[in-house]
Chain A
Amino acid sequence: MNVQDKVIAIIAEQAVLQPSDVKLEHSLDDLGIDSLGLVESIFAIEEAFDVSVPFNANDPTASGFDISSVAAIIAAVEGLVRQKEAVGG
């Protein structure tokens, strides 16, 4: 499973939807994921990709981890995974 599919699977599980119902342009709001659901999704992402997501619930925009849409989250996770591989490589 690539990063995109894995992230979508995590978000779908949180939203109690089929992965096929999660669209790239959806926001978390569209999917009915609240602040607690977001924090849980980020935890699941960290566990799945063995990365550390810089996210502070007090100021989601300050962390540089874009959560504005499913596509943005996937791009941000891809960035973190690349960083990790660069460091690990």
Chain B
Amino acid sequence: MKRVVITGAGTINALGKNVAETMEAMREGRCGIGPLDIRDIDRLSVQIGGQVRDYDELAWFNRQQVALYDRFTQFTLLAAKEAIAQSGLRFEGELSTRSGVVLGTAGGGVNTWDENYRSVYEEGRNRVHPFVVPKLMNNAAASHVSMEYNLKGPAFTVATACASSNHAMGLAFQMIRSGMCSVILTGGSEAMLCFGGIKAWEGLRVMSRDACRPFSANRNGMVQGEGAATFVFEDYDHARARGAGILAEVTGFAMTSDAADIVMPSAQGAERAITGALADARMNPEDVGYINAHGTGTAANDKTECAAVSKAFGPHADRLMISSTKSMHGHLIGGTGAVELLACIMALRDGVIAPTIGYEEPDPECALDVVPNTAREARVTAVLSNAFAFGGLNAVLALRAI
């Protein structure tokens, strides 16, 4: 089996327009959540989110590209540009055919759906732009990345709600480990902060109207975010042979299904994914110094997740650190695991643990070291990243310092 390493990272999200800005914000415990600037905000009861601000699509893309790229595709392409530039790779000849794209998104081109429904239903128009379908499809971002960088191997998109990115990155890991591919551009993206995208979430009544406070006793729900993060996953031998800089090693992945409830999470399903990822990585529980939590800030997730971690790690659960960076960048739904992997890389490479901000009151049902409010310097050599989706789908990645 091949070893798999990360040789490039890129992002755009509420905390920053690249990896350096995002990690700086995470180190400083800065909050990217604020009042939303979107159409018809007055008809929404939830009016905050982790929005990418001061974003001018025409600063990055020309008019023809904008006509074809939904916001989620634009975010993906910006993140991919940064990641591939860092990796130093050029995809030609055999490398091109042995390289692919595996991305996660839950909603795909939600803004495109929203704008065009508005046009035909509200404004009564009978004609839509010819590119609506290629713009909104969930695989649009993956396809545009493949075209932009000449990635001719497997390319596809995974949609498993809030676990989409982790499932995507887990598959990318397995595809390199098995020898199927040499390089995969992976991660995920979401751009759901529009009237319809927020209205749908409002209906579930799990949203906070003021802040995302994971693990804090006074938490009152989740806050949506948007953006993308992508990574270059590469065969270790291939990376070594070309002298590439390595950010971290991906060592394990597990996915489980609760097979129980469409929205309520199960501690057993989560625990099986955690122990599965450890086993796949051949890690002992004691090796893990940090977990990037799913940590949505809902009552249902946070209690269940803490119970699952306690069960999976036993006494070591009280010694490891676990934080939810959703408190800063919001919940990017299908893109969330990708942005959160940046916190894992920061922990392994820089020895800085991103905090859970907005933490105000201890909750006895979440009695773990959640790194409240302030980032911490700590040397960790192995980390996990949790994602638990609606539908009872759990996906956990394990990484090591290298």
Contact = CB atoms under 8 A, between A and B. Distances in A.
Interface of A: 34-36, 39, 42-43, 52, 55-59, 62
A58 B204 CA distance: 11
Nearest to A52: B45
A58 B219 contact: yes
A62 B220 CA distance: 9
Nearest to B299: A58
B287 to A, nearest CB: 34
B263 A56 contact: no
Contact of A59 (B263, B264, B299): B299
A36 B299 contact: no
28 contacts: A34-B264, A35-B263, A35-B264, A35-B300, A36-B262, A36-B263, A36-B264, A39-B203, A39-B205, A42-B205, A52-B45, A55-B205, A56-B208, A56-B220, A57-B205, A57-B206, A57-B221, A57-B298, A57-B299, A58-B219, A58-B220, A58-B221, A58-B297, A58-B298, A58-B300, A59-B220, A59-B299, A62-B220
Interface size class of B (residues with CB under 8 A): 10 to 19
B220 A43 contact: no
Contacts of A58: 206, 208, 219-221, 297-300
Contacts of A35: 263-264, 300
Interface string B284-317: 0000000000000111100000000000000000
Interface string B253-276: 000000000111000000000000
A76 B221 CA distance: 23
Given A34-B264, A56-B207, A57-B221, 17 more contacts: A35-B263, A35-B264, A36-B262, A36-B263, A36-B264, A39-B205, A42-B205, A56-B208, A56-B220, A57-B205, A57-B298, A57-B299, A57-B300, A58-B221, A58-B297, A58-B299, A62-B220
Interface string B204-242: 111110000000000111000000000000000000000
Contacts of A55: 205
Contacts of A43: 203
A35 B304 CA distance: 15
A52 B45 CA distance: 10
Contacts of A59: 220, 299
- Give the dominant DSSP class at A's interface: loop
A42 B205 CA distance: 10
A35 B204 CA distance: 10
Nearest to A57: B205
Top 7 nearest A-B pairs by Cβ distance?
A: A58-B299, A57-B205, A58-B221, A58-B220, A57-B206, A58-B298, A39-B205
Nearest to A43: B203
Contacts of A36: 262-264
Contacts of B297: 58
A39 B220 CA distance: 16
A87 B221 CA distance: 30
Contacts of B220: 56, 58-59, 62
Contacts of A56: 205-208, 220-221
B204 A39 contact: yes
Interface string B178-212: 00000000000000000000000001111110000
A36 to B, nearest CB: 6
Nearest to B302: A58
Nearest to B45: A52
A17 B44 CA distance: 34
Nearest to A35: B264
Nearest to B220: A58
Contacts of B264: 34-36
Contacts of B45: 52
A43 B199 CA distance: 13
A71 B95 CA distance: 69
A57 B264 CA distance: 12
Interface string B68-86: 0000000000000000000
A85 B98 CA distance: 68
Nearest to A38: B205
A33 B125 CA distance: 42
A38 B344 CA distance: 37
Given A35-B263, A35-B264, A36-B262, A57 B219 contact: no
Nearest to A55: B205
Nearest to A36: B263
A52 B264 CA distance: 24
A33 to B, nearest CB: 14
A34 B300 CA distance: 13
A3 B264 CA distance: 31
